[in-house]
Structure 1
Amino acid sequence: METAQYLHKYNSFIFEFDDVLYPEKDYFLQVYYLFAQFIEYAEQRDATELLAFMKSDFDSHGHEGIFDRTMFHFNLDEKYRVNFDLLMQNVKLPLKLLLFDGLMRFLQSIAEAGKQIFLMLSGDPVMQLNKIRQTEWNGLEVHLIVYFTEEFGEQSTEANLFTIMGKHGAKAIETLFVGHPSQAILINPSSGINYLEANKLLA
């Protein structure tokens, strides 16, 4: 379905954020760069070597647990975990986060049509808000209504979506959820939720 058809069919659009609107790797790698610079200053260790390890480790194992693996590899003190965690939450990025081109164009077309755009963010609200503030929205930020799923308590993706829709009187039949491919198995076809994998909009 072409984006124009989505605009014709739906009045409200709910988007996930990480690896949906932008590549989350762009955030992580900038944090790793700044952490490596900090360790070079604090421990006189080679920042280039540390950053190269973290990039390679991220490509192989992902972000989860990367501090522990880096600490073990370079024999770093556990005390630096606090610095790493603070950077993850509150970092001032050297470069703004850029939206995927296809998603940015789609968001712009929704905004121009005067339809509702919701962001549904999971994970640490402090870090997620920091990411939003350092994303290049190209003027789209004034059209966004943001929700943090942690504020809803422990509930399913489906329940989160219905909570957002309920707050704005949006009907499921008129709402499109654009999410990460991993959501496909979490959305029950009988729920009435219209789900679209974000990567189908990347072209």
Structure 2
Amino acid sequence: MLRQLRPASVLLTALTVITGLAYPFAMTGLAGIIFPAKAAGSLIERGGTVVGSSLIGQNVTGANYFHGRPSATTATDPADATKTVPAPYNAANSAGSNLGPTSAALAERVTGDLASLKAENANDPVPVDLVTTSGSGLDPDISPAAAAFQVPRIAKARKIAEDKLRDLVASHTEGRMLGILGEPRVNVLVLNLALDDLVRR
């Protein structure tokens, strides 16, 4: 039996070192050399301060900024550790809501969101990504239509011409990857930072 345990233990140790330590460290180091910004989390800085990541959405609620998709992520309730409370864009608890199409809670939330959005802009149809959560709850992007829908509200709040804001959205719209993968999208954090820059000019 010891004759069988020894080679098995050696093999287990060797594979643990190779696949559990050497390979991850090598890939992390290589990624840091080839793609330093992405390996560091695609962080965005302003004036030497990190303001967020282009990979994780932020909970923006002000009328003078573009808003992202709703987020269903939660966090532990500080008052009762056995319960959770809503915590939009909580990267430590990435998840969707798991509510199905027959869920009364989902229907109520979507109906409320639709009413709020229609109050902001009654002239255009509400884009679906402004009332639905993503599977991760951390989606940093919205569709160009979702950004355009918010232009009248932001133009009013910031006293900027709508055409200027539409041009800003267009200039920050990313196309499909390789021309065929995914959908056109706008990164909300990048767009909001560009909006602040536009106002300072």
Q: Shared fold by TM > 0.5?
A: no
> TM-score scaled by structure 1?
0.24
Please state which structure has a larger fraction of its residues in helix.
Answer: 1
> TM-score scaled by structure 2?
0.24
Say which structure, 1 or 2, has more relative contact order (CA 8 Å, 6+ apart): 1
Larger radius of gyration: 2
